[in-house]
Amino acid sequence: MNTLSILKRCGSILAFCTMLAVAGCGGSDGGSGGASTGTLSLQITDAAVDTAEHVYIQFSGLEIQSADGKRTTLYYCQDPADATKTVLKDTACTTPPAPKQLDLLALNGGQAEALLNDFTLPSGHYSWIRLMVDTADPLDSYIVVLRTRYELTIASGDETGLKLNRGFDVPADGSADFTIDFDLRKSVHVTGTGEYMLRPTLRMVDNVMVGAIAGTVDNTLMTVTCDPVNDHPAVYVFEGSGVTPDDIDGIAPDPVTTASVKLDSNDGMYKYMAAFLEAGSYTIAFTCDAAADDPIVDNTLTFSGTTTVTVTANNTLTHNF
C-alpha cells in the first residue's frame, strides 16, 4: 500500500472516531444518565380541629421513592455545629437523633412549617413520600384537650409512617415546592374508651399552583345561629361548583379542607382562611356544628351561605358570609 493510500485510510478512521465521540457527548441527559439534579422543598400545614388546644406530631425523617424504585431516606439529626439545631441527612445519624415535633394546630390559616428546604435530589419523577412519625413514647405524638395530654395512636405509624401516594417531578437544574395539608378535622377520632386515634388524611399540593379563600362571617350571623363560646364555627370547602355540603364521613362529597372561624381581637370581626387550594371551582358553606363532625360517623350538620367561588393560583379570593 502506498503512502497516499495509508494517509487516506487514517483520515477516514479519524473522522469516524470523531463522529462517535461527538455522538457520545450528546447522548446523555438527566433522564437516562441520572447526572442532573434539582431541589425539593416540602412544608406542612393543617386544617384545624376545634376540640383541642394542641396536637403535636413528631417526625423523625422522610422517605422518598423515585419511579424506578430507588428509595431515599432522610433523617432529622442534631446539628454537630450547634446542638440546639436540627439538620437533615441522607445517612443514619452520627450525632443524636433530633426529631422535629410540631404543634399542627399552630399551622392553620395559611401558616406552614418547613420539613424539607431545597434538598438536592436526582431530577426525575418520584412516586411517593412517606413521613416517618414517632409514637412509641406517650409524649412523641399527643393531643391536649382541656389542658390534659392524651397519647395519639397512629395506626401503623411506627411501621410504615404516613404515606402520600402522589407522584411529582423534580426538574433538572430547577426546584419543586409542595405543601402537605394534614387535615386534623378529618383525622382525629375519639374511641368509645376515650382513646384518641389519628387516621391521617393528607393531601399534597404544588405551591406554584395554589391560591386561597378568606373573608369574614357577619357578627349577626354568628350571634343568631352560633354560640361563640360553645359552638365551633367553620367554613367547609368542597371541590367543584354547585355541591350540596355534607359532613366529613369518608363518603362523597367530603370537603377538600375546612377553615375555623375565629374572632380577631384587633377589629372585632370573625374571620376565616382556607389556604393551599389548587386553582379551580369550589363550593363553600358556613356551619356552627364543626365540633360535632366525627370523621367516621355520618353526622347531620346545618350549613348556610352555600356558594360557588373560583380560586386562581397565587391569589387570595375574598368571600364574606
Q: Are strands 37-47 and 113-122 parallel, antiparallel or unpaired?
A: antiparallel
- The whole-number pLDDT of residue 191 equals 84
Q: What is the mean pLDDT of each run of 10 residues along the chain (321 residues)?
A: 41 40 37 70 88 91 95 95 92 93 91 94 96 87 92 68 91 96 86 84 94 95 77 93 94 93 92 96 95 86 96 98 96
- The whole-number pLDDT of residue 200 equals 80
> For cell 397512629, what's the residue?
154
Encoded amino acid at 180, one letter? I
**Cα–Cα distance for residue pair 48/12, rounded to 1 Å:** 73
Backbone angles phi, psi at 33, to 5 degrees: -80, -25
- The whole-number pLDDT of residue 35 equals 65
- The whole-number pLDDT of residue 228 equals 61
- The whole-number pLDDT of residue 20 equals 35
CATH class of the domain whose range is 210-318: mainly beta
Q: Could you give the C-alpha distances from 308 to 42, 185, 199, 305, in angstroms and in order? A: 30, 22, 29, 10
C-alpha cell at 100: 422535629
Q: Which of 295, 318, 146 is nearest to 216 (CA)?
A: 318
- The whole-number pLDDT of residue 50 equals 74
**Cα–Cα distance for residue pair 52/116, rounded to 1 Å:** 27
Q: What is the 3-state secondary structure (H, E, C) of the chain?
A: CCHHHHHHHHHHHHHHHHHHHHHHHHCCCHHHHCCCEEEEEEEEEEECCCCCCEEEEEEEEEEEEECCCCEEEEEEEEECCEEEEEEEECCCCCCCECCEEEEHHHCCCCCCEEEEEEEEEECEEEEEEEEEEECCCCCCCEEEECCEEEEEEECCHHHHCEEECCCEEECCCCEEEEEEEEEHHHHEEECCCCCEEECCCEEEEEHHHEEEEEEEECHHHHHHHCCCCCCECEEEEEECCCCCCCCCCCCCCCCCEEEECEEECCCCEEEEEEEEEECEEEEEEEECEHHHCCCCCCCCCCEEEEEEEEECCCCEEECCC
- The whole-number pLDDT of residue 9 equals 44
C-alpha cell at 148: 390534659
β-partners of residue 153 are: 197
Give first-to-last CA distance, the chain, whole Å. 96
Domain ranges in the chain are 36-200, 210-318
